[in-house]
Chain A
Amino acid sequence: ILNVEQSPQSLHVQEGDSTNFTCSFPSSNFYALHWYRWETAKSPEALFVMTLNGDEKKKGRISATLNTKEGYSYLYIKGSQPEDSATYLCAPEGGSEKLVFGKGTKLTVNP
């Protein structure tokens, strides 16, 4: 079973701040790294998938990078807005298509 760590567990920022958080995972048996966004009282929504070392993905003000050699991914949010408040989940995928989710980073953006 993959040991997936996300840090910090929670984060409070002011509107307009930029922020980032980390997903760490074992680098062996790696196939892909998923990021999901989970708003309160809703279901998780897919953000990014990355497979190659050095991959970078961007969606609006949110971007992510991947380092498969050292086993980590960063998620960045530029100019945070209150609507960015959510829990951000990462999930490494091994070769068997089995996903193991981290516990998430809960982001609160104060207006």
Chain B
Amino acid sequence: NAGVTQTPKFQVLKTGQSMTLQCAQDMNHEYMSWYRQDPGMGLRLIHYSVGAGITDQGEVPNGYNVSRSTTEDFPLRLLSAAPSQTSVYFCASSYTSGTAWPQHFGDGTRLSIL
């Protein structure tokens, strides 16, 4: 069982470059979300989606775009990378009938912006 798959696992970008972090789940989960993890800050919600075609902003959405064209995929786009976006990014999903419980997390993508 694949669960939640994130690609790539590591990436180094230069300031101003664009990139898409991929997230796919094979559990037919409706709810998908993106978090970033920074030292001393815990997990902060970037964007989330409660179903295909529906997305909403989290705590720290600026600089990131998302779309949800299928149930399985929820890519996160950085249009113009900035050093402040250096972080570890986690994608998570859950089967929802009105709740985000429980979140199944991917293994993370470590992103460095130079």
B-facing residues in A43-75 (Cβ within 8 Å): 43-46, 49
* Complex interface: chain B residues within 8 A of A96 (CB): 56
Please measure, in the bound complex, the distance between the C-alpha atom of A103 and the C-alpha atom of B39, giving whole angstroms.
9
Please measure, in the bound complex, the distance between the C-alpha atom of A93 and the C-alpha atom of B100, giving whole angstroms.
8
Q: Does A21 have its Cβ within 8 Å of any Cβ on chain B?
A: no
Whether A99 pairs with B50 at a CB distance below 8 angstroms is no
Q: Does A36 have its Cβ within 8 Å of any Cβ on chain B?
A: yes
Please measure, in the bound complex, the distance between the C-alpha atom of A86 and the C-alpha atom of B21, giving whole angstroms.
27
Whether A43 pairs with B101 at a CB distance below 8 angstroms is no
Chain A binding surface, main DSSP class: loop
Q: A43-B108, A101-B42, A103-B40 are in contact. Are A49 and B102 (CB under 8 A)?
A: yes
Contact of A98 among B48, B104, B105 (CB under 8 A): B48
Q: A43-B108, A89-B42, A89-B43 are in contact. Are A1 and B102 (CB under 8 A)?
A: no
Interface residues of A, Cβ cutoff 8 Å to B: 1, 31-32, 34, 36, 43-46, 49, 89, 91, 93, 96-104
Please measure, in the bound complex, the distance between the C-alpha atom of A91 and the C-alpha atom of B43, giving whole angstroms.
10
A81 to chain B, nearest CB (A): 23
Whether B45 pairs with A99 at a CB distance below 8 angstroms is yes
CB pairs A–B below 8 angstroms (12 shown) = A32-B100, A43-B107, A44-B43, A45-B105, A49-B99, A93-B101, A97-B96, A97-B99, A97-B100, A98-B45, A99-B100, A101-B45
Whether B101 pairs with A34 at a CB distance below 8 angstroms is yes
Interface-centre pick from B43, B58, B96 (highest chain A CB count, 10 A): B43
